[in-house]
Each structure stands twice: as C-alpha cells, then as structure tokens.
C-alpha cells in the first residue's frame, strides 16, 4: 500500500498524464495533474496564461498548485515538464513523495509533441532544437529529484507502469 504521493516528472510529451492515470487506476489512488488544476483554477488554458502572465506567472501558479496537492491524500501526480526548474518544487516533491522520472529519446518527444498547439514553449520554428535545449537544461534537475528512472522509448505505457510498480 502506498502511503505517499508518486510524482511523475519528465519532458513534454513523455506520457506523464497517460501513465499517471493508468497507474492511479492500478493502485486505486486518485490521479492529479498539475497543468489541469492550474487551468481549472485560472479558468483559462496554458497558452492563455503564458500570453497574459508570461512563463514566470505560470510558474507561480504551478508552485501554488503543487503546495496544495502535496497536502492532500496520497495520489499519483503528473506534473508539467518545467516543474523541476523551481527549487521550491524540487524540495516539495522530494519531501512529500516518491519521484519517478519518465524519459524518452528526442525523436520520440519530437514525434509525440509534433501536432500540439497547447505547449507555448514549443511554438517555435525549430521545436526539435528547443526540445534538445530544454532537455540539456533540465535532465540534471530531473535526475536530482528522481527516486526511479523509467525509459518509455521501447515499451508502451503498460510496461512503464509495471516498471514503476516494481520500484514502489
Ligand atoms: C511545460 C510543460 C507543460 C506545461 C507548460 C510548460 C514546460 O506540461 O506545464 O506548457 O515548461 O516543459 P507537459 O510536460 O505536460 O507538456
């Protein structure tokens, strides 16, 4: 029985929400998704928040949501790809649960985010270059908080879940 949160961290498009929802079902725990909670509270989608408040405004909202979900009953919590950029978020996740870093190759991430218009950071001329740049910056941060590292390249969500379960 899990008595603390499981945080899923990793880059955009890696499958945190899909895997998180399935994992929560498997464990009979609630599923939370910080991006969706931010949107519900704001009454607007993420592109709108980035437009109106900039990335820094979004990050403030993200930390507030994380602070709040940490204090709720244990859940599987999918986070936004940039959650690890804020020291306070890294501290909260390591204090309040087990952190699982989901990895995928750049090729996979490019493919999985290709038709997406909801991720402001990837609305650029060369999204692949942006993904490489973001990964270079964040990979050490993901690793610094991770209790479990799971590569999702070769297997589907079900295999990823089995691997996570074997570590819990
Ligand atoms: C972001 C990732 C997004 C969302 C926002 C910023 C990032 O979440 O939080 O667009 O900085 O990597 P996903 O990782 O679920 O796409």
Mean pLDDT, rounded, for 3-9 = 96
Domains of the chain (ranges; CATH) run 5-167 (3.40.50.300)
Do the Cβ atoms of 93 and 7 come closer than 8 Å? yes
Closest residue (by CA) to atom 16 of ligand 1? 12
Report how far ligand 1's centroid is from the alpha carbon of 1 (Å): 30
Lowest pLDDT segment from 15-24, 70-79, 150-159:
150-159
Over residues 51-95, the pLDDT tens digits come to 999 999 999 999 999 999 999 999 999 999 999 999 999 999 999
Q: What is the pTM of this model?
A: 0.97
CB-ligand 1 contact for 46 (6 Å cutoff): yes
Residue 117 predicted with pLDDT over 90:
no
Mean pLDDT, rounded, for 10-29 = 96
Report how far ligand 1's centroid is from the alpha carbon of 164 (Å): 22
Length of the chain: 168
CB-ligand 1 contact for 81 (6 Å cutoff): yes
Report the DSSP pairing between strands 30-33 and 5-9: unpaired
Q: Look at residue 37 in the predicted model and tell me its pLDDT.
A: 98
Higher-confidence position of 167 and 35: 35
Over residues 24-63, the pLDDT tens digits come to 999 999 999 999 999 999 999 999 999 999 999 999 999 9
Sheet strands (E) in the chain: 5-9, 30-33, 75-78, 97-103, 148-151
What CA–CA distance (Å, rounded) separates 67 from 82?
16
Residue 116 predicted with pLDDT over 90:
no
């Amino acid at each position: 029985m899990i008595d603390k949160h499981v945080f899923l961290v990793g880059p955009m498009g890696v499958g945190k929400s899909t895997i998180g929802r399935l994992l929560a079902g498997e464990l009979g725990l609630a599923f939370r998704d910080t991006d969706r909670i931010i949107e519900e509270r704001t009454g607007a989608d993420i592109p709108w928040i980035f437009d109106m408040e900039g990335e820094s405004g979004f990050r403030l909202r993200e930390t507030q949501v994380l602070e709040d979900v940490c204090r709720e009953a244990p859940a599987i919590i999918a986070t936004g790809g940039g959650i690890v950029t804020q020291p306070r978020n890294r501290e909260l996740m390591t204090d309040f649960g087990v952190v699982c870093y989901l990895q995928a190759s750049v090729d996979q991430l490019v493919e999985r985010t290709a038709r997406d218009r909801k991720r402001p950071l990837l609305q650029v001329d060369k999204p692949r270059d942006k993904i490489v740049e973001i990964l270079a910056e964040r990979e050490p941060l993901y690793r610094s908080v991770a209790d479990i590292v799971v590569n999702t390249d070769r297997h589907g969500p079900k295999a990823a879940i089995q691997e996570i379960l074997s570590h819990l």
